[in-house]
Amino acid sequence: MSAISTTGTEESCSSLRSKVGFRDVEVRHYERCISDNPSVQDGPPIGIGWKVEEEQKFSVDEFEGSREFVRQPDVNSLMLPKTHRQELLLSEGFSKKEIAQSVRSVIKAKNQRRQTVNNLDKIPLEEFMENTKRSVKGVFCIGKSKENKMLLSESQTLPIANAAA
């Protein structure tokens, strides 16, 4: 890459052309792991871990020549079926118990999300109730517990004149 001097005239700068090129392509294969993503329709979610299992380096021409240039017709063709995900996780060394536990946690997360969506229409009522509660506390000084405790302790230490008579 070359540097462009800004001291020249506008004509000389416009005659220089910037060029970007690529020399190598690195392809890394990462370990597969159980994910926690609840967006799967059914079965265990699958993800990639941090451990690199295989790394290959190609020239751009080699890489482009070796890969099949096939466009996927739609997003659904990229989804892995439940059985395929289970087989991949089992082949990676995960137990059936770990996979089942993952499925249960996904179901729990889905239920929590569903409950949140179902309760969205109740938010204005909850906010009204909380604001009313704060207003009532403010009017009756319920929230000032330090002052209330001090007043209570002072009232208990004062001698009562009528009690002695």
CA distance 146 to 158: 19
Neighbours of 28 (CB within 10 A): 10
Q: What pLDDT shows up at residue 47?
A: 92
Q: Where are the domains positioned within the chain?
A: 24-121, 123-164
How does residue 60 score in pLDDT terms, banded at 50, 70 and 90? confident
Q: What pLDDT shows up at residue 17?
A: 81
**Helix or strand or coil: residue 162?**
helix
Question: What's the whole-number average pLDDT of the chain?
Answer: 80
Q: Residue 57: which of 66, 70, 48 has the closest Cα? A: 66
How does residue 8 score in pLDDT terms, banded at 50, 70 and 90? very low
- Contact (CB, 8 A) for 145 and 73: no
How is residue 70 annotated by DSSP? -
Q: Which residue has the higher pLDDT, 70 or 122?
A: 122
Summarize the confidence of residues 12-22 as an average pLDDT.
74
pTM recorded for the entire structure: 0.55
The pair of structure tokens assigned to 74 is 């739609």
Segment (H or E) for 48: strand 46-59
Structure confidence by residue, pLDDT tens digits, 84-127: 999 999 999 999 999 999 999 999 999 999 999 998 888 888 88
Structure confidence by residue, pLDDT tens digits, 145-154: 666 666 766 7
**Helix or strand or coil: residue 29?**
strand
Neighbours of 47 (CB within 10 A): 12
What percent of the chain has pLDDT above 90? 39
